[in-house]
């Protein structure tokens, strides 16, 4: 049974390092402000905003708050999962499911890519300062990223071939 998720593995960002989420959220544009966002399982090079503090299990922000932080502070995300949710879904409902995590989630690495929370719309995953995974229920989101990053690879195809070189 095929799922409705599509995803990309992005091998090269324009800024030359992984992962400046300002650049990533620039691709999303105004779409980012339509959602609430959870950042979980994150590790950064610095923590210049008190809204994304060191050592928390997760942070919960509106899209406007998150875009504002990324516009004001250059933060390199080494690991993490940045997940979008419809604004009408409360945090309590989201927390009925395990927090999304980056390293060790097997659903990224199967031909039928899965997202971690069934209530989520978009998952953006900085992967060990090496790659960026973008998974979404919205095909136009994936298409926007594929257009912005022509070197990106369909995540399902990557999982079938087992390499980012092809």
pLDDT, tens only, 137-166: 999 999 999 999 999 999 999 998 875 554
Query: What number is the average pLDDT over the span 15-25?
Result: 84
pLDDT in tens, 119-139: 999 999 999 988 999 999 999
Query: What number is the average pLDDT over the span 44-70?
Result: 95
Write down the pLDDT at residue 165: 52
Task: Identify the CA nearest to 131 among candidates 111, 100, 159.
Answer: 159
Share of the chain above pLDDT 90, in %: 76
Write down the pLDDT at residue 160: 87
Cβ-based neighbours of 112, under 8 Å, separated by 6 or more: 1, 2, 3, 156
């Amino acid at each position: 049974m095929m799922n409705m998720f599509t995803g990309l593995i992005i091998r090269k960002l324009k800024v030359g390092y992984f992962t400046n989420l300002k650049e990533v959220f620039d691709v999303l544009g105004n779409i980012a402000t339509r959602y609430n966002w959870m950042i979980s399982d994150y590790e950064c090079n610095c923590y210049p905003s008190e809204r994304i503090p060191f050592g928390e299990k997760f942070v919960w922000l509106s899209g406007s708050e998150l875009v504002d932080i990324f516009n004001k502070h250059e933060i390199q995300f080494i690991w993490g999962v940045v997940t979008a949710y419809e604004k009408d879904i409360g945090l309590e409902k989201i927390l009925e499911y395990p927090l999304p995590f980056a390293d060790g989630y097997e659903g990224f690495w199967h031909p039928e890519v899965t997202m971690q929370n069934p209530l989520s719309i978009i998952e953006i995953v900085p992967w060990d300062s090496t790659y960026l995974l973008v998974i979404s229920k919205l095909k136009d989101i994936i298409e926007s990223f594929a257009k912005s990053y022509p070197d990106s690879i369909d995540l399902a195809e990557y999982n079938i071939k087992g390499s980012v070189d092809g």
